[in-house]
Structures are given as structure tokens and as C-alpha cells.
Amino acid sequence: MAHNILEVADLHLNYGQTRVLHGVSFEVPAASLLAIVGPNGAGKSSTLGAIAGGIPIASGTVRFDGHSIEALAPEAIARLGLSFVPEARHPFSSLTVEENLLIGSLMRRNRAMAASNLERVYGYFPRLRVRSRQPAGKLSGGEQQMLVIGRALMTSPRLMLIDEPSLGLAPKIVEEVYEMLRRIRDEAGVTIVVNEQSSRRVMKFAENILVLRDGRVQLRGTPATIDQGQALHHAYFGVGNFDSIGPRTEA
């Protein structure tokens, strides 16, 4: 049985005087793909930002591969092997695609590893090889998403947190991106956590689904177990609280 590479326990998060996460807890087995889904304002992006060290945590613990990281700076967390791909795709527009990718290797300062990782990224995303000498600002939205994922891969991560990878992309491109994420998980053993607003989009790619609403975990389970009856609908729209499939508990 795979060990849990990420363990989040009783996570609370504030923006000023407003509490946005209320005791969020979950685990992520190594070499798996977890999808965190829920409506706008559910706390999905805040959860990933807190794990990556970019948002101060009010209370709770985050353990990455057995190490407590909730008090570490983002740079220190990244050096441990956790890479965060934020929602907004912001490549360095004036730099070429390849220059953008090589920026991701600077942290490792290992030329041989950088060259190997670059070939691996081009293997996953052949379109980036074709456009390697072009300015990143000339890429389509889907190509930019591939680029920022590829740049994260250049750091040799063991865990990738990816915020809304399908945002603004055509359905066909979304399928392509998720197929590549599945390949990265299966072939490189990289654990992946993605945030999505639509659960239907990730049902066939993720081993586990976590539904957030109003900063709380409403439902968790495998796609096969949570996609039953009204449970998923209730978790999204507020009829009862759920913690995996089972008896309903009142709020």
C-alpha cells in the first residue's frame, strides 16, 4: 500500500477577519491523483496556496513526505520536491518556450539533470518542442498551460499542486492536458493534486475526489463511490454534510 505523501490536518485559514477554511483534513497517497472540486468560493485555491506556503496558516498541520512544512517558506517547500502551478498562466512572455522551461531548472543547478528533464517535458508535450524557439507570449492558452506544467516538471517534483488547469480551455485541450497529467503520474510516479470547479471533468482521471464547500470538506471518496444518487449534488449545493459515502450527518 502506498504511503501518504501529503497529510493535511485540521487546516484553518483566515483572510483578515474572515475565516475561509474550517478544519480541512485529507491525505494523498504517493503516485496518485486527487481532485479537489467545489463551487466558486469553496476554498480550493486557498487550500493549495496554504500547502505551498504562499498563504499563512491560522492553525493546523501540513506534512509532506513525513516532514512538517506549515512553517516553511515557499522556496524551502519547493526544494523538498513540492511544485505549485497557480491558476493564472503567467509564462515570461518575451522569453522563448525553452528559456521558460530552463528557468524551472535553476533551483537544482544541475546541467545534466536539466537536460534530461527538458527532454522528458518535450516527450510529454511535443508541441512545446516544436515551439521551443518561439516567444512564450505567442502560445495559445492550452500551450501556455502545458508550458507552466512543464516548467514545474523541470524542478523534479515528487508532488505537484495544480490550480484550475482547465480554466479557459476548450474541452479537447482539457482532455489532452489531463491525459498528460495521468501519464506523468503513471510514468514518473509524480503525485498530483488538482483543483477544479467541475467534478465531471476529472471523474475519469482521479483516483480520489474531495468536495469542498464554504471552506469545509463535504464529501470524499473515489469517483465510483461518490458519483451515486444525490450525494455529489448535495455536497455541492448545500443539502447536508458528507464525509465519504455513508449516513447523512446534520451540520
pLDDT band at 197 (very low <50, low <70, confident <90, very high): confident
Whether 226 is covered by a domain: the verdict is: yes
For the chain, the domain total comes to 1
Whether 12 is covered by a domain: the verdict is: yes
Chain segment 85-131, per-residue pLDDT in tens = 998 778 999 999 999 999 988 866 678 899 999 999 999 999 999 99
Q: Which triple of cell numbers denotes residue 8?
A: 493535511
C-alpha distances in Å from residue 130, one per residue of 44, 51, 63, 82, 103: 34, 34, 39, 28, 19
Domain containing residue 180: CATH number:
3.40.50.300
What is the span of the domain harbouring residue 55?
4-87+159-237
Cα separation of 184 and 123, whole Å? 10
Whether 132 is covered by a domain: the verdict is: no
pTM of the model: 0.91
pLDDT band at 242 (very low <50, low <70, confident <90, very high): very low
